[in-house]
Amino acid sequence: MWAYFEETSVHRNAANTPCRLHLPDGLGTERVLTTLKMLVARHESLRTVYRRNDRGELAQFAMERGEVRVTVHEATAGAEGISTVVEELGRQLCAVDFDVAEEWPVRAGVVTVAGAPRGVVIVVDHMAIDAWSMALLGAEFEAMVNAAEGIWENILPPVRHHPIDQATNEQDSHAVQVGGRALRHWEKQLRSISPRLPRRRTRKDRPAAVHHDSVMTSGALVGALATLSSRYKTSWANVLLATTAVLLSTHLDQDQSLIQVISSNRYQPQTRACVGTFIQSGLVVVDTPRDRAFGAIVAATATAAFHAYRFGSYDPYLLAELRREICGEPGMEPDFSYYFNYLDYEQFDYQALADEGNQAQNQAQTKITAPVSRTVRNVTLFSNFEPKRDCMSVQLIADSTIIHIGSFFRAMESVLAEAVLVDDLDVEGMSRVSGLDRGAANHRTLGTDLEVTR
């Protein structure tokens, strides 16, 4: 994240990630504030600053003492208006940059009515957490505020793995070998990229981005993904990623698609209860010639995604050197600005997270929602299955000079619906069904905000 902000002109507050925390009735303000204080005390990442050391290298420092700014806002809205007030407070807190060299990367807001807390929102810098961590913080907060008096302060097991422990682990010989294998996989993928793919434009040559984000909620996607994942014996995420690869290659008028996926890197038990930033990018390169059948593309995508996640932990500075060596400097290298992130429900079982051999004591089901982020240059696609609503939410954040959001959503539904009906549908057929013009990216059509509900 640090490197990203150093090499781009994206505003620093784009990394600010909000999360609304749920409160039971009858809770006092002091209890809420104490719970927030305990969360910060539990997790090193929330007490971290980032500074250059004597050698000029970026270093992370966990502080023992400090302050967290909590804004208490007295509202006059009724129960139905509290959500709006909390959302607005979250937006205000997100709008202010964190000084990551001096300031802890967390701030909070409490909305009260007649002095009683009715809503809480926290904002954390993405430098300190990932989506898994934010969901874990929400689940821990809810476990504490819902516990009975006398036991709530001790209801969670202690955190036994912190970012400093993870940093130490990453220096051992096994971790170094894992990182080496990951870099060899990246090298293989980088060398497989077609020289015809569009080059990444430098900041000087790139027009100012006008980002739009929109959400499509579609029950039709659920039915199509369920059918196709069963047919091809793979996950919903792989079918959706394969569809995205076809649409992207159509959009760019290419026979290959280049998409980055996000690896959680939480494969070891001790990492699952740790609040920190573990995510790294993996590269999925999929060949999409016009006569290739969709089933073959799904299979190829599933294999490429598996290896991308498997080799998702590496030294980012060594990867940056490798990219420059193989692909050249920015302006010469392929455009890596397309991202895909599939998010789902996760079950957080605290005792099992702390010690997988013990029986669970407390459970909370938390919906992991994608942060509304404007940090990418071109396109980010977030998708999340909502079982209670039996629908799929797909969020697309895009530079409007690159992709038309409404067209992309309609194309996704059309292609998947046709793939259900036609068993041997190929890329050419998918392109026709999508309604996208080949090479539409070259037309620089302006995007529009659009919310589609099916």
What residue type is 453 in one-letter code? Answer: T
Burial 401-416 (b: 16+ CB within 10 A, else e): bbbbbbbbbbbbbbbb
Q: In the prediction, which pLDDT does 120 show?
A: 95
pLDDT value for 448: 33
Confidence at residue 454, expressed as pLDDT on a 0 to 100 scale? 29
DSSP labels, 42-73: H-GGGGEEEEE-TTS-EEEEE-SS----EEEE
Longest dimension (CA), the chain: 67
Phi, psi of 2 (to 5 degrees): -60, -50
Closest to 91 (Cα-Cα) out of 75, 71, 105, 66: 71
- The pLDDT assigned to 104 comes to 94
CB of 331 within 8 A of CB of 199? yes
| pLDDT of res. 350 | 36
Residue 26 CA to residue 115 CA, distance in Å, equals: 11
What is d(CA 259, CA 286) in angstroms, rounded to the nearest whole number?
Answer: 9
- Looking at domain 168-453, does it have CATH number 3.30.559.30? yes
Q: What is the pLDDT of residue 359?
A: 27
> Can you give the pLDDT at residue 303?
96
Report the distance separating Cα 126 and Cα 199, nearest Å: 28
> Which residue(s) pair with 384 in the sheet?
343, 393
Q: For residue 425, how many other CB atoms are within 10 A of its CB?
A: 20
DSSP string, 398-409: EETTT--HHHHH
Find all residues with CB under 8 Å of 405, minimum gap 6, and list them.
212, 213, 214, 396, 398, 447, 448, 449, 450
Buried b (16+ CB within 10 A) or exposed e, 104-131: bbbbbbbbbbeeebbbbbbbbbbbbbbb
The pLDDT, as a whole number, for residue 362 is 26
The one-digit pLDDT tens for each residue of the chain (454 residues) are: 666 565 555 566 777 888 899 888 889 999 999 999 999 999 999 999 988 878 777 788 889 888 899 999 998 866 568 888 998 999 999 999 898 889 999 999 999 988 899 999 999 998 899 888 998 999 999 999 988 888 887 888 889 899 889 988 888 898 899 999 999 999 999 999 988 887 765 554 555 555 555 667 777 788 888 899 999 999 888 999 999 999 989 888 899 998 888 888 988 888 888 999 998 989 999 999 999 999 999 999 999 999 999 999 999 889 989 988 998 765 567 877 787 877 553 333 433 333 332 222 222 222 222 233 333 345 666 666 666 556 666 766 665 555 666 777 788 889 999 999 998 899 999 999 988 777 655 433 333 333 333 2
Tokens of 151: 């036991």
Q: Which two tokens stand for residue 267?
A: 């494969």
- CB contact set of 245 (below 8 Å; sequence gap of 6+): 257, 259, 284, 286, 288, 297, 301
E strands of 86-150, at which residues? Answer: 106-113, 116-125
Angle, nearest 10°, between helix axes 173-191 and 294-310?
150
Amino acid present at 353 = L
The per-residue pLDDT for 196 is 82
Report the candidate in 317, 251, 244, 320 with the shortest Cα–Cα distance to residue 284. Answer: 244
Task: Please tell me the distance from the alpha carbon of residue 303 to that of residue 436, in angstroms, as a whole number.
Answer: 27
Closest CA to 39 of 214, 156, 177, 204: 156
Whether 2-129 and 168-453 share one fold: the answer is yes
Token pair, residue 99, equals: 């000084």
CATH architecture designation of domain 2-129: 2-Layer Sandwich (3.30)
What is the DSSP secondary-structure string of 296-317?
HHHHHHHHHHHHHHHT----HH
Domain boundaries, given as residue ranges, for the chain: 2-129, 168-453
CB of 127 within 8 A of CB of 2? Answer: yes
Q: Are 220 and 454 in contact (CB under 8 A)?
A: yes
pTM listed for this prediction: 0.79
Q: Which residues pair with 120 in a beta bridge?
A: 21, 110
Report, in angstroms and rounded to the nearest whole number, the Rg of the chain calculated over CA atoms. 23
Q: Other C-beta atoms within 10 Å of 91: how many?
A: 14
Instruction: Specify the pLDDT at position 103.
Output: 92
Nearest alpha carbon to residue 313 among 166, 114, 194: 166
